[in-house]
Amino acid sequence: MHTRGLTKRFRGGQLAVDGLDLTVPRGSVFGFLGPNGSGKTTTIRMLMGLIAPTSGMAAVLGEPMPQSVGTVLPRVGALIEGPALYGFLSGRDNLARYDSADPTADPHTRARRVAEALDRVGLTAAAGKKARAYSLGMKQRLGLAAALLQPRELLVLDEPTNGLDPQGMREIRALVREVAAEGTTVFLSSHLLDEIEQVCSHAAVMSRGRLLVQGTVAELAARAQGRLVVRTPDVEEAAAVLAAHQVADVRAGDGRVDADAGQNADEALPKLCAALVEAGVRVRGFGVERGTLEDAFVALTGEGFDVAG
């Protein structure tokens, strides 16, 4: 899946997506990350042919969109902006309706597919309950079950853990890993850093409609500057030694001092450790903690993210 110069400007002049060049490797679990309102859902709607771009191009499974909607969408499972459900039907009957709308679905095996999809998302016990009685998290699960009724080459999930409790989040993340292990490419939009770091192999960062960076999750985390951490009961003395050696951004805390590791950390760190010991600082821990995904993304966007999941 890839885009070139993909742009969407709505009536009234709002530029929701601005010149997006995105490449999603086949077989990856691709995290599409950004604060709410950054253009993620608008991009997904263009990729799925739900809205037309103002300019630029998008290709999904090697086919241009929206021109190839009819041939592409049967190969794609999607959960976008929450599922559209019939409230008066049970969860099981909702899935049967979804399945019957698929021209490639064999009606003779429908009941089995529906039962398996309900089991995969943990809704078997609630299958007979009317959808209007479902919680938000249960509705998310049912929407995901609809996307999993048949094997798909691509699974597109827009905030799939929205409304779920922590245990539900863990279960859905495990399911995403399971689907990916079966060979399906997963494109997962989220504003939760923890979600991206736990399940994704690749990621892209959006902010205010523009793509800031894309690559493997490891590459993106490596963009964040590491921090030198000294663990010691002599916090004030350690901070003074680091400051005297022109170490930047020294911060003293409870039992630790941390600072900017700098560009030449490998060369400078042994000298700093020796200086601390020479000054009588009781060093109980000394090293560089790598930058986190949170550090990298906040530095890129200048905005906060929800990091817990």
Q: Which numeric CATH code is attached to 227-289? A: 3.30.70
* Sequential DSSP letters for 174-190: HHHHHHHHTT-EEEEEE
- Helices 136-147 and 91-100, interaxial angle, to 10°? 30
pLDDT computed for residue 69 by the predictor: 92
- Per-residue confidence (pLDDT) for residue 300, from 0 to 100: 64
Backbone φ/ψ region at 171: left (φ over 0), alpha (ψ -120 to 50), beta: alpha
Q: Which CATH class is domain 2-222?
A: alpha beta
Predicted pLDDT at 308: 40
Sorted by where each begins, the domain ranges of the chain are 2-222, 227-289
Report d(CA 264, CA 261) in Å as an integer: 8
So what's the pLDDT on residue 123? 94
| Order of strands, sheet of 251-252, starting from the edge strand that comes earlier in the sequence | 251-252, 256-260, 227-231, 285-289
Q: Decide if 2-222 and 227-289 have a common fold.
A: no
Helix (H, G, I), strand (E, B) or coil at 224: coil
| Cis preceding linkage at 66, omega within 30 | yes
Residue-by-residue pLDDT tens, the chain, 309 positions: 999 999 999 988 889 999 999 999 999 999 998 877 889 999 999 999 999 999 999 999 999 999 999 899 989 999 887 788 999 999 999 999 999 988 888 999 999 999 999 999 999 999 999 999 998 889 989 999 999 999 899 999 988 888 788 888 888 888 899 899 999 999 999 877 777 888 899 999 888 899 988 999 888 776 666 778 999 999 999 999 999 998 888 989 889 998 877 666 667 888 899 999 999 999 999 988 766 666 666 666 665 544 443
How far is the C-alpha of 298 from the C-alpha of 217, rounded, in Å?
15
pLDDT at 263: 62
